[in-house]
Amino acid sequence: MGIAENITQIKKEIGSDVTLVAVSKYSSDRAVHEAYDAGHRHFGENKARDLKDRAAAMPDDIKWHFIGHLQRNKVKYIAPAVHCIHGVDSLRLLEEIEKRAGKVPRTVKCLLQLHIAEEETKFGLSEEEAEEILRSDEMAEFSHVRIIGLMGMATNTDDEEQIRREFKRLKTFFDKIQALTVTAEVPDDDDRAPSFPPNVEMRVLSMGMSADYKVAIEEGSNMVRIGSAVFKED
Ligand SMILES: *Cc1c(COP(=O)(O)O)cnc(C)c1O
Q: What are the residue boundaries of the structural domains of the chain, listed by start?
A: 3-184+192-231
Centroid of chain to Cα 80: 18
Distance 193 CA to ligand 1 centre (A): 38
Instruction: Write the secondary structure of 195-214 as one string of H (helix), E (strand) and C (coil).
Output: CCCCCEEEEEEECCCCCCHH
For residue 182, the model assigns a pLDDT of 78
Segment (H or E) for 65: strand 63-66
- CATH fold of 3-184+192-231: TIM Barrel (3.20.20)
For residue 233, the model assigns a pLDDT of 86
Report the alpha-carbon distance of residue 21 to residue 67 in Å, rounded: 10
Cis previous bond, 194, omega within 30: no
For residue 75, the model assigns a pLDDT of 98
User: Of 19, 20, 23, 205, which is best to mutate to test ligand 1, by the most ligand atoms within 8 angstroms of its C-beta?
Assistant: 23
Q: Report, as ranges of residue numbers, the positions in the chain whose pLDDT lies below 50.
A: none
Distance 225 CA to ligand 1 centre (A): 6
Report the alpha-carbon distance of residue 212 to residue 164 in Å, rounded: 9
For residue 118, the model assigns a pLDDT of 84
